[in-house]
Amino acid sequence: MGVSDVAQADGSKRVGIVLVSHSKEVADSVARLAAGLAGVPDARVAGAGGLPDGGLGTSEELIVEAAHRMDEGAGVALLVDLGSAVLTVKTLLAEGDELPEPARLVDAPLVEGAVAAVVTAAGGGDLAAVASAAEEAYTYRKL
Amino acid sequence: MSGKVTNEAGGSGEGGSGGRELDAAFFARWMTASADAVAREADRLTELDSAIGDADHGGNMRRGFEAVRGELAEEVPGTPGAVLMTAGRKLVSTVGGASGPLYGTLLRRTGKALGSAERVSGEDLADALRTGIDAVAQLGGAAAGDKTMLDALFPAVAALADSGGEDFGAARDAAERGAEETVPMQARKGRASYLGERSIGHRDPGATSAALLVAALAEADGAEGGTAGSQENDSSGSE
């Protein structure tokens, strides 16, 4: 579910962000959390979680669909949880032409990375900037 | 049918080296035999996966290979490479677990390596499989001895290559041995690796399903060895 499907009023293109989790609830909730914490209600961020039937797993179909829905032409950053989510996105990037161009798998913690990505994308950052902001989230120590 | 070598019976088939000419129908038979084997062994795969994984391997593999069976029942692509690429693509889109991208990559890369030839030799297949297996290793970042599907696939393709692409039975036996040898290994990749030493003593589900696929290859070959390409559409049973 996209938080918003409306392009920015000034016409500038924002990087789309797709959150891939084994769980639909996790993916959609993290998308809402990131948009909320970032204070960007119309953020281009969507969850692609679970299987089409709602069960736990990774669905290529849901990922591709969300990536196209979030794409405004500035590229799409994909953040993932683990295991098959990582492998499925890697496979899509290596083999297929299903994802919008450019698309990038971002090596980041899902929740913290999503917040950083949304803030950066909303500020007009390009795909490289969004990816690097999300990756930097690994360095935020909590102790 | 173990290790049947077509040209040991009557000698020179067609005018050259190596016996086999494997066509698209052969590869479709391999996929169908794989679907049969996975369906037959799904409960066992899930049981193995419940010991060191998340208990979904049997169901995931069955869902994926039934989708492959359905796809090929509608239409068999014209070349060996296209059959494997179609099957691999279907696995990625239907399995829903890590085995989807892993087996999908195996079949797609193998299929791509076979190119657009209408018939390939056993040696061509051995070479292409090696390409596919290397792609799987790269995707998963795994190596031999990590307690993964690679521990069945590496020995299988080595056995096939050692026989010049002739001995599918040897490949099957090597895969089975390789899967059995994962029992004392400690998992270093995937969900099972979280268990650390507790993964020791369990047979790896991925190596087990990989051995099933290699056994299905030998089975498809045995079926072909019987008659020279007569039985075309034996198992089109709608799914």
pLDDT digits (tens, 9 = 90+) for B121-170: 999 999 999 999 999 999 999 999 999 999 999 999 999 999 999 999 99
The average pLDDT across A29-57 equals: 96
Whether residue B100 and residue A90 make contact (CB cut-off 8 A), yes or no, is no
- Residues of chain B with Cβ-Cβ distance to A23 below 8 Å are none
Let me know if residue A8 belongs to a domain: no
Q: What is the DSSP string of B139-165?
A: HHT--TTSSSTHHHHHHHHHHHHHTTT
Let me know if residue B12 belongs to a domain: no
Nearest-by-Cβ selection for B92 from A57, A60, A83: A60
Let me know if residue A119 belongs to a domain: yes
A22 is catalytic: yes
pLDDT of A48: 98
Per residue, what are the HEC states of B63-95?
HHHHHHHHHHHHCCCCCHHHHHHHHHHHHHHHC
pLDDT of A112: 96
Digit-coded pLDDT (tens) for B215-230: 999 999 985 543 333 3
Digit-coded pLDDT (tens) for B160-202: 999 999 999 999 999 999 999 999 999 999 889 999 999 999 9
- Does the pLDDT value for residue A20 go beyond 70? yes
Let me know if residue B167 belongs to a domain: yes
- Residues of chain A with Cβ-Cβ distance to B97 below 8 Å are 57-58, 83-84
Other residues' Cβ atoms within 10 Å of the Cβ of residue A142: 4
- Model ipTM value: 0.83
Whether residue A58 and residue B102 make contact (CB cut-off 8 A), yes or no, is no
Nearest-by-Cβ selection for A58 from B96, B105, B140: B96
State the catalytic residue, choosing from A14, A22, A24, A44.
Answer: A22
pLDDT of A76: 98
Nearest-by-Cβ selection for A57 from B92, B96, B108: B96
Nearest CA in chain B to A59: B96
Whether residue A84 and residue B56 make contact (CB cut-off 8 A), yes or no, is no
* Chain A residues near any Cβ of chain B (below 8 Å): 51, 55, 57-61, 83-84, 87-88, 90-92, 94-95
- Does the pLDDT value for residue B11 go beyond 60? no
Digit-coded pLDDT (tens) for B86-111: 999 999 999 999 999 999 999 999 99
The domain that holds A66 is classified in CATH as: 3.40.50.510
If DSSP codes are grouped into helix, strand and coil, which group holds residue A41?
Answer: coil
Digit-coded pLDDT (tens) for B31-89: 999 999 999 999 999 999 999 988 999 999 999 999 999 999 999 999 999 999 999 99
Let me know if residue B164 belongs to a domain: yes
Total structural domains within chain B: 1
- Does the pLDDT value for residue B12 go beyond 70? no
Whether residue B100 and residue A58 make contact (CB cut-off 8 A), yes or no, is yes
If DSSP codes are grouped into helix, strand and coil, which group holds residue B130?
Answer: helix
Length of chain B: 239
Dihedral over Cα of A35, A38, A42, A44: its sign: negative
Let me know if residue A80 belongs to a domain: yes
Strands B119-120 and B22-23, sheet pairing: antiparallel
Domain residues for the domain of B161 are 21-224
The domain that holds B197 is classified in CATH as: 1.25.40.340
Whether residue B191 and residue A55 make contact (CB cut-off 8 A), yes or no, is no
* Residues pairing with A106 in the sheet: A79
Tell me how far apart the 2 most distant CA atoms of chain B are, in Å: 55
Helix (H) or strand (E) holding A19: strand A16-21
A36 falls in which pLDDT band (50, 70, 90)? Answer: very high
Domain residues for the domain of A37 are 16-136
pLDDT of A12: 83
- Residues of chain A with Cβ-Cβ distance to B92 below 8 Å are 60, 88, 91-92, 95
Helix (H) or strand (E) holding B215: helix B205-226
- Residues of chain B with Cβ-Cβ distance to A83 below 8 Å are 97-98, 190-191
Total structural domains within chain A: 1
Whether residue B93 and residue A55 make contact (CB cut-off 8 A), yes or no, is no
Digit-coded pLDDT (tens) for A108-139: 999 999 999 999 999 999 999 999 999 999 99
B18 falls in which pLDDT band (50, 70, 90)? Answer: low
Let me know if residue A7 belongs to a domain: no
Let me know if residue B171 belongs to a domain: yes
- For residue B81, which amino acid is it? G
- Residues of chain B with Cβ-Cβ distance to A58 below 8 Å are 96-97, 100
Digit-coded pLDDT (tens) for A84-100: 999 999 999 997 789 99
What are the contacts of B151-154 at 24+ separation with CB within 8 A? B151/B178, B151/B179, B151/B181, B151/B182, B151/B185, B151/B204, B151/B207, B152/B176, B152/B178, B152/B179, B152/B182, B152/B207, B152/B208, B152/B210, B152/B211, B152/B214, B153/B106, B153/B129, B153/B178, B153/B210, B153/B214, B154/B178
Let me know if residue B130 belongs to a domain: yes
